[in-house]
A and B are shown apart, each in its own frame.
Chain A
Amino acid sequence: MAAVSMTGIVKKFGAVTAVDGVDLEVADGRFVALLGPSGCGKTTLLRMLSGLEAPSQGRVRIGGKDVTALPPERRNVGFMFQSYALFPHMTVAANLRFPLRMRRGLSRSQEDARIARALDLVRLPDVGQRKPQQLSGGQQQRVALARALIDEPDVLLLDEPLSNLDARLRDEMQLELVELRRQVPITTIMVTHDQHEGLALADDIVVMRAGRIEQQGTPESVYASPATPFVADFLGAANLVPVSVEGGLARWPDGLTTPVDGAPGQHTLMLRQEDIAIVQPGAPAEVELTARIVAAAFRGSSLQLSVEAGGARLRFGAPVQGGYGVGAQVRIGWVRAAARLL
């Protein structure tokens, strides 16, 4: 186990700059999720940690040791690929034996013991003699995880580990991954384009955009106070309204004003979907607006409403039993502190 540090990382592919000056510190034992849309450089960053790509500039350190010039075969990292990259011509046991063979001088029986332990860890004790293609997607995913961990790497790297699973299995595997990390508290860096996955699993998230780090911090802090409209939008379902602020009031596109905390000037006002509610008679909200419903979609447990208010379009959830129809006028409200200026 080891801390990971990347300083001043730049990666160019020909004329394209995939990573453009990244500094990243991951403390020993932390689980960090690199989040961002495809093409933001997160996978390139992961591959540079593993040594599969060499940075054009910058240093990579694992456990305090500069590994920038070391090829992957001489770094001690576990890498789980998006495609799992299991060897189809080998049994599961042979797949797990491979990393042990490459790096350690263990006896056959020591190897067997480790393979059995790794399969137990991912709760697949009986699949050793099967070929990967005889396993389900979820089982393949676990075998890939076991293979990445079996050699006790300093760092575990996960590239979109859950993206090939269907939605139900994905939720299940998220919980398994949390449980596994409790048993094996190894420094882990995960790449994902799925913000829910990042928020649910990681100790820290790093939101990337166009080769740079946009914001990093704990999931709670980044979600609660996004530094930029991009982060707010990417992390989930935020309503973003361009406003001009003066004297504690935000002027909406159609001239309406609402109270807000923040410095004067042009800003993006962020309102999370879960912070907006329909105002019930006799229970006034701190901030209220009149809105017209332009669309309503049934979501089972709730209604997803899209409304027009103050010259902007807002989305949020409402209880089904309200019977809100398209075209209806409603009062919507939120607590003053929920409206953040970015």
Chain B
Amino acid sequence: MIGERPFAATVAMLLLLLLVGVFLLAPLAVVAAASLSAGGFLVFPPQGLSLRWYADVWGDPRYVQAAWTSLGLALITVAIAVPLGTAAALSLRRPGALPLRGLWEFLFLSPLVLPAVVLAIGLLILASNLAGGPSKAALVAGHVVIALPYVVRTVTAVLAGVDPATDDAARVMGASAWQRLSMVTLPQAKAGIAAGAVLAFIVSFDDAVLVLFLRAPTLETIPLRIYAGLEFSPDPGVAAVSTCLILLAAVAVGVTDRLLGGKQVVG
């Protein structure tokens, strides 16, 4: 029959998929398993089963402090990146509103492909010249830059499904530019904006590279705390925190997927 795959090819394909799946998920599974260990060392397979390391981390002020820092940083990043990225997506959408549109589009999306280290070094030099050294402001700026492409992508994807005639219609009905934006265009894009906010939050929360370069000496985020923990006291508590990060990311992906209804946004 035309289009039907030979049996051997089907088996080979399934095996390959399985292999890729294992390759992708194995590190996560190892971390999750290690976090459930009852013993005192970060090993796989875990020695016994318990949730004691979750309780341990929960009671550790260093982790709690780092969590608050990461949360604050991520929220500030969202608060800046979402309006900025939404504005960028809106201006990219209108033909003729922006000269050299392709160039701008590339610019907004480039942090996705550029190495974060390069960005970090650049920002570090800038921060040293302008602000006398690494600072929280420089770190926020860096996070906004790496989070921006996600917002631009999600909002652009949703705006592509918005009928441009709705803006014209509102205009003919007497709506000012601000009324059209706030009552017609943005409400139709809100799923993309929300999805962009979730992704921006995760990008900031999970970042380890920029924060390593740009943090003030006293500032410690969750990824840094994990790294420090691994260096100085590699106990299953590190794995417990990591597992929480995995769960957070999984929830975020689930939420954006629901919001966007299968639109291709990342990649």
Contact = CB atoms under 8 A, between A and B. Distances in A.
B258 interface: no
A79 interface: yes
B4 interface: no
Interface stretch (B20-28, B57-65, B121-129, B166-174): B166-174
B170 A81 contact: no
Nearest to B171: A72
A102 interface: yes
A83 B188 contact: no
B133 to A, nearest CB: 47
Nearest to A150: B173
Contacts of B173: 73, 98-99, 102-103, 147, 151
A102 B168 contact: no
B117 to A, nearest CB: 42
Contacts of A86: 166
A77 B172 contact: yes
A85 B169 contact: yes
Interface string A81-95: 111011111000000
Interface residues of B, number: 18
B45 interface: no
Contacts of B174: 73-74, 99, 102-103, 151
Contact of B170 (A82, A83, A98): A98
A320 interface: no
A164 B169 CA distance: 17
B72 interface: no
B116 interface: no
A188 interface: no
Nearest to B190: A89
Interface string B47-73: 000000000000000000000000000
Nearest to A75: B172
26 contacts: A52-B168, A71-B171, A72-B171, A72-B172, A73-B171, A73-B172, A73-B174, A73-B175, A74-B174, A75-B172, A77-B172, A79-B169, A83-B165, A85-B166, A87-B169, A87-B170, A87-B184, A88-B188, A89-B187, A89-B190, A98-B173, A98-B175, A99-B173, A102-B173, A103-B173, A103-B174
Across the A-B interface, give the 7 residue pairs with the lowest CB-CB distance, nearest first.
A102-B174, A85-B165, A99-B173, A85-B169, A79-B172, A81-B165, A103-B174
Interface of B: 163, 165-166, 168-176, 179, 183-184, 187-188, 190
Given A78-B172, A85-B166, A89-B190, 4 more contacts: A77-B172, A81-B169, A86-B166, A87-B166
